[in-house]
Amino acid sequence: MKIVSLLPSATEIVCSLGLEKDLVAITHECDFPTQITGLPAITASRISHETMTSNEIDHAVRSQLDGHGSIYNLDTELLEKLKPELILTQELCDVCAVSYKQVEKAARMYVADATVVSLEPNTIEDIFSTITTVAKLMGVTSKGAEVVAGLRNRLEAIRAKTSEISERPNVFMLEWLEPPFSPGHWVPEQVEIAGGSAILGLPGERSVTTTYEAIFASQPDVLVLIPCGYYISDTLRQLENTEFPATWNEIPAIRNNEVWALDATSYFSRPGPRLVDGAEILAKIFHPTIFAEPTASEAIRVDRSKLKFAMAAAA
């Protein structure tokens, strides 16, 4: 079956099932596993993460979507040429991928015989169901069950070590720098499994804008920077252009040097198998005496001196 994946997470799911040979096109953001990076990209972004600040990106996205546009281009000529039998897409977020309406319209016009499947996970359990669904569609149900079982076992191994922990750090997962976003969907679950208490976010709910004041009031013990779609290097670069309120100097996480930059793209933004890796990394940050310290490739401790703060108001 020829598959076009319009989601990096769907690409990773297909590959986890051993079906990478069936992929005929992927998105411009698909970069894992490395063996698929040579496939043609059927999407392109109209917004540059490399040249724009967090605030500029947020403004550009809101402007496009408020005008009922899209921040992505879909190569319909390539779609028609490839004639896929299965198109994997989503309706969850117009910021994360080509909109479902855009895909549905293109499919009707260019590949009428293709099956369009929308993957809509909101929780970790939903993600496991997504893997099972794709496996069933591709006729590899037993492989899907095997992959899900392996992921469950890894999560249970973390839970077994954190279930009896009485002192759980209050953790804020910052999903965008400016304006600040609080976490939603599966991220609060990752925090809880790893032995933390997720604040300002609800499992299964959407990520939403919050305020620097609300974050200060929550007084997190650990602040984890996971701007959606960013790698660690992207986050560190964006921090150079981000100014936090002067009051943030009194947040416990900042006072105690417990600010961390993680690879959001791989371990938090994409609802695929590597979310389990994300939970494992968080466990190392929250409870290093139990799980050992995270490696430099997993997480970077952001020294207080690397953060910029506004000047305190004069008395």
Task: Write a three-state SS string for the chain.
Answer: CCEEECCHHHHHHHHHCCCHHHEEEECCCCCCCHHHCCCCECEEECCCCCCCCHHHHHHHHHHHHHCCCCCEEECHHHHHHHCCCEEEECCCCCCCCCCHHHHHHHHHHHCCCCEEEECCCCCHHHHHHHHHHHHHHCCCHHHHHHHHHHHHHHHHHHHHHHCCCCCCCEEEEECECCCCEECCCCHHHHHHHCCCEECCCCCCCCCEECCHHHHHHHCCCEEEECCCCCCHHHHHHHHCCCEECHHHHHCHHHHCCCEEEECHHHHHHCCCCCHHHHHHHHHHHHCHHHHCCCCCCCEEECCHHHCEECCCCCC
Average pLDDT over residues 51-70: 63
Residue-range domain boundaries for the chain: 3-143, 167-309
Split at pLDDT 50, 70, 90, the class of 68 is very low
Query: pLDDT at position 315, please?
Result: 46
Query: d(Cα 249, Cα 55) in Å, to the nearest integer?
Result: 22
**pLDDT one-digit tens code per residue, 196-238:** 999 999 999 999 999 999 999 999 999 999 999 899 999 999 9
The CATH number assigned to the domain with range 167-309 reads 3.40.50.1980
**% pLDDT > 70, the chain:** 88
Query: pLDDT at position 195, please?
Result: 97
Split at pLDDT 50, 70, 90, the class of 166 is confident
3-143 and 167-309 share one fold:
yes
**% pLDDT > 90, the chain:** 75
Average pLDDT over residues 240-258: 95
Tell me if 25 sits within 8 A of 84, measured CB to CB.
yes
Least confident of 31-45, 94-108, 121-135, 248-262: 94-108
Query: d(Cα 278, Cα 274) in Å, to the nearest integer?
Result: 7
Architecture, CATH, for domain 3-143: 3-Layer(aba) Sandwich (3.40)
Query: pLDDT at position 113, please?
Result: 83
258 pLDDT exceeds 90?
yes
Split at pLDDT 50, 70, 90, the class of 120 is confident
Least confident of 35-49, 105-119, 300-314: 105-119
148 pLDDT exceeds 80?
yes
Average pLDDT over residues 157-170: 94
Average pLDDT over residues 130-154: 97
Pairing relation of β-strands 3-5 and 181-182? unpaired
Query: pLDDT at position 314, please?
Result: 47
Q: Report the mean per-residue pLDDT for the chain.
A: 90
> 197 to each of 18, 41, 192, how far by Cα in Å?
36, 39, 6
